[in-house]
Chain A
């Protein structure tokens, strides 16, 4: 099977990709939304003339309480103002000020204190770690009868490697989008990560399940020898399913991204990148890694 044979190419490709993303995370970093940092977010809806960002910046200059704010377009007629925490009165001042020059209404206002953000961070990390823990336990359990030639823990471990790969790539996408268009990571992004976790693992499980099934037809002595070809056969048998499932999921997500509201747009984007990465890793990383692991243990 060509995928297993050429596995070094895919390892290299993924390693470079992951290295680039880690580099991006250290240089550009990630823009955290107000759920994480605290602050205020005001979404404005313009009717008629939509001012440019430069025009808005000069309009907003006079407000002293607006320190270090940023603007981002939302759709064709919306603008999102993000700033340090402001009060409701301050927000009203801004709106009535803008209403002198434009026909504008407030469509969304959120203000979050900084301590809530810290709690969210802790919770997010805890949730990801816990989900990982339980899923690895579950996989090790589900594959407990498959101990030859690689242990059931290896299946669990490789699933985690594949997942980390799938998690880091959306982070990279958000780092790039954050740098160029000011896209922010919010609590829905964390949700997206956990969904990617489920999806990535689901995808990997389907291939592993096939390996489990195909291995059961091989006699004990031959398992080790035939492992590579069994894995290759299993990947081959599941590849069209993997691609079709990710296609239907991507169709749904693209519909959500294009037609859905502004609140869930970043969420859809994170998932699109994550599903692509997840499909790739289940085919080109997870199963070849099983073979490599088996070869390594032989030496």
Chain B
């Protein structure tokens, strides 16, 4: 009777699990399935990071700040869960350092590429001193000194595009760090004109719309060279030089892979995967019931348990589902049955030997265990190696689901199938024996 109680508890637990899977699909739940780009549509970009100009030892630092910069830019998209990560490729690869950007829901690849790859906007803007004076006086009188600095500056047309190079220098005697700029010929002319006409004015330097320094023009500069000095630490100055030279990305990047999946294809793939899962499940159960009768039905039940546990784990871990992951789940459906089949075939031998169904199950599980263990371990080895070596997300997605599937399938075969089978098995030899016969022929022995 204890076995029957246990099996009822398992049934209730599985039902609760099913309810959890269903219920957490509702809007706003934290446990909704996470879908990969290929199922929800979106853009995947892979860049090669050129670290040849990075001083040895600081590669990680450079890659980290690259990641941060790109994250800032990606956030402009307002995508719900963008992914930016750096990756170190194989030893032999030329593209050893990589940056991966995933933008779910974004299918305008050109816009995404443009935004990520853009160089920062370095601008020189003149302070409109008349306006500034007026505003600040008004506000001082109001008692509210609240100036939006950007409004006070007028663009001059002199931008980072006209820069030839930036350099970090230290000015004696205090060794104060300054950033020296050298303009190209067009920039030189523009800069010369600006400094000639606006002596005494403030010519501020803006980076991506934010002022970084606001030096005063002291004299006419005709040679196209300028210095940004001010309250820099050496580190800040160094970063600014880097940003100016490399287009604000700490290391230059080059696009080497793009993948875009339209939203309809993603949904269709998901729908088709779910469809294949259902049809596969139904066909397998029909086969099992025809061949193994009552035990086949139980194997079908334990297969439902398997799917529920898998889906729960997908939500709890959480596993990002991809089309290959769904394929892995469907494949594992067929392979999960293997452990059941092994047990049933062993049982059949025991039944032939005259054991009661109840005892036959116990011995069957015991004797099938070593093949179940060895077989699944070898599958697990290939799954782990796949996961380890997989560069492509599509392979990783499969390997993860496959590995989880192997573990769960061993559990459901040994516990769920066994306990259910024992719960329905009579302890005597002859009653209901036809229910436990196997094969399509129904020969009386």
Q: Is A6 an interface residue (CB 8 A)?
A: no
A146 / chain B contacts, CB cutoff of 8 Å? none
Interface Cβ pair total, 8 Å cutoff: 242
A197 to B386, CA, bound (A): 11
Given A88-B258, A107-B261, A127-B386: A260 and B327 interface contact (C-beta under 8 Å): yes
Complex-state Cα separation, A118 to B94, whole angstroms: 10
* In contact, A209 and B379 (Cβ under 8 angstroms): no
- A82 vs chain B, min Cβ distance (A): 14
Bound CA–CA A268/B275 (angstroms): 15
Whether A123 pairs with B389 at a CB distance below 8 angstroms is yes
Q: Is the CB of B398 within 8 A of A45?
A: no
B11 within 8 A of A: no
Q: Which stretch from B215-223, B280-288, B312-320 is at the chain A interface?
A: B280-288
Interface flag for B382 (CB, 8 Å): yes
Of B326, B349, B395, the contact of A188 (CB 8 Å cutoff): B395
Which segment, of B14-22, B192-200, B262-270, faces chain A?
B262-270
Give A249 to B324 CA distance when docked, in angstroms: 16
**B279 at the binding interface (Cβ < 8 Å):** yes
* A261–B374 touching, CB < 8 Å: no
Residues of chain A within 8 A (CB-CB) of B390 are: 123, 127, 187, 191
Size of chain A's interface in residues, with CB distance under 8 A? 75
Given A130-B385, A261-B268, does the pair A120, B391 have CB atoms closer than 8 Å?
yes
Task: Confirm or deny: B331 has a beta carbon within 8 angstroms of a beta carbon on chain A.
Answer: yes
Which single member of B264, B327, B379 contacts A256 (CB below 8 Å)?
B327
Q: B402 to A195, Cβ gap below 8 A?
A: yes
User: Is A59 positioned at the interface, with any CB of B under 8 Å from its CB?
Assistant: no
CB-CB contacts below 8 Å: B147-200 with A = none
Is residue B335 contacting chain A, with contact meaning CB distance below 8 A? yes
Q: How far is the CB of B274 from chain A (nearest CB, A)?
A: 9
B345 closest partner in A (C-beta)? A241
A190 to chain B, nearest CB (A): 7
Q: Which residues of B contact A261 (CB under 8 A)?
A: 265, 268-269, 272-273, 323
Name the segment of B85-93, B119-127, B224-232 touching the other chain: B85-93
Q: Which residue of A lies closest to B89 (CB)?
A: A119
Contact mask for chain A residues 256-284; partner B; CB cutoff 8 A; 1 contact, 0 none? 10111111100110010000000000000
Determine whether the beta carbon of A251 is less than 8 Å from that of B381: no
Report A-chain residues with C-beta under 8 Å of the C-beta of B382.
131, 135, 194-195, 197-198
Q: Which residues of the other chain, A, contact B342 by a CB distance below 8 angstroms?
A: 206, 241, 245
Contact A240 B345 (CB under 8 A): yes
A19 contacts B by Cβ under 8 Å: no
Q: Is B106 an interface residue (CB 8 A)?
A: no
Complex Cα spacing A260 to B264, Å: 15
Partner of B398, one of A108, A120, A191, A244: A191
Q: Tell yes or no: A255 within 8 A of B by CB.
A: yes
Task: Known A115-B94, A241-B345; judge A259-B371 contact (CB<8 A).
Answer: no
B272 near A259: Cβ-Cβ < 8 Å: yes
Q: For the complex, what is the distance from the CA of A120 to the CA of B375, rounded to whole Å?
A: 28
Chain A residues with CB under 8 Å of B109's CB are: 88, 109
CB of B260 within 8 A of CB of A134, answer no
Whether A188 lies near B391 (C-beta < 8 A) is no
Known contacts A209-B371, A248-B338, A138 near B284 by CB under 8 Å = no
Smallest beta-carbon distance A73→chain B, Å: 15
The listed residue (A110, A213, A268) touching B259 by CB distance below 8 A is: A110
Complex: how many Å from CA A247 to CA B285? 12
Q: Let me know if A111 is at the binding interface, CB within 8 A.
A: yes
Question: Once the chains are docked, how many angstroms separate the CA of A248 from the CA of B253?
Answer: 48
Q: Which of B89, B93, B389 has the most CB of A within 10 A?
A: B389
CB of A255 within 8 A of CB of B279, answer: yes
Residues of A within 8 A of B330 (CB): 252-253, 255-256, 260
Interface of B is mostly: helix
Establish whether residues B94 and A245, one from each chain, have CB atoms under 8 Å apart when the complex forms: no
Is B8 at the interface (CB under 8 A from chain A)? no
**B260–A106 contact, CB under 8 A?**
yes
Query: Given contacts A113-B256, A209-B370, A209-B374, is CB(A252)–CB(B383) below 8 Å?
Result: no
CB distance from B404 to the nearest CB of A (A): 14
Number of B residues, CB within 8 Å of A: 76
Contact with A along B238-265 (1 / 0, CB 8 A): 0000000000000000001111111011
CA distance A160 to B185 in the complex (A): 69
Q: Which residues of B contact A264 (CB under 8 A)?
A: 273, 323-324, 326-327
Q: A108 contacts B331, CB within 8 Å? A: no
- Expressed in whole angstroms, the minimum distance between the Cβ of A110 and any Cβ of chain B is 4
Taking each of A43, A259, A271, which has the highest tally of chain B beta carbons within 10 Å of its own beta carbon? Answer: A259
Q: Cβ of A205 < 8 Å from any Cβ of B?
A: yes
B351 to nearest A CB, angstroms?
A: 14
Q: Tell me how far the C-beta of B387 lies from the nearest C-beta in chain A, rounded to whole angstroms.
A: 10
Choose one: A115, A127, A237, A248; the contact of B337 (CB below 8 Å).
A248
Best-surrounded residue of B89, B261, B324, B341 (most CB of chain A within 10 A): B341
A105 interfacial contact with B, CB 8 Å? yes
Contact of B324 among A188, A210, A238, A252 (CB under 8 A): A188
- Complex: how many Å from CA A74 to CA B90? 33
Q: With a CB–CB cut-off of 8 A, which chain A residues contact B338?
A: 202, 245, 248-249
Known contacts being A188-B398, A252-B330, is A116 close to B279, with CB within 8 Å?
Answer: no
How far, in angstroms, from A168 to B187 measured CA to CA in the complex?
Answer: 65
B349 near A237 with CB under 8 A, answer yes
Tell me the minimal C-beta distance from B402 to chain A in angstroms: 7
Contact assessment for A107 and B331 in the assembled complex, using a CB-CB cutoff below 8 Å: no
Let me know if A139 is at the binding interface, CB within 8 A. yes
- Name the distance in Å between A93's Cβ and chain B's nearest Cβ: 11
Q: Is A126 an interface residue (CB 8 A)?
A: yes
For A260, list chain B residues within 8 Å (CB).
272-273, 275-276, 323, 326-327, 330
24 A–B contact pairs at CB < 8 A?
Answer: A35-B392, A88-B110, A92-B110, A108-B260, A113-B95, A116-B93, A120-B392, A127-B388, A127-B390, A138-B374, A142-B374, A198-B381, A198-B383, A199-B379, A203-B375, A205-B378, A237-B345, A237-B349, A245-B335, A249-B335, A252-B333, A256-B327, A260-B327, A268-B327
A: which residues have CB within 8 A of B? 35, 43, 45, 88-89, 92, 105-113, 115-116, 118-120, 122-124, 126-127, 130-131, 134-135, 138-139, 142, 187-188, 190-191, 194-195, 197-199, 201-203, 205-206, 209-210, 213, 237-238, 240-241, 244-245, 247-256, 258-264, 267-268, 271
Beyond A107-B264, A195-B331, A249-B334, list 14 extra A-B contacts (CB 8 Å): A88-B110, A112-B257, A115-B256, A130-B389, A205-B375, A206-B375, A251-B284, A254-B280, A259-B272, A259-B275, A260-B275, A260-B276, A260-B323, A260-B327
* Nearest 4 A/B pairs, CB to CB: A252-B334, A249-B334, A255-B280, A261-B269
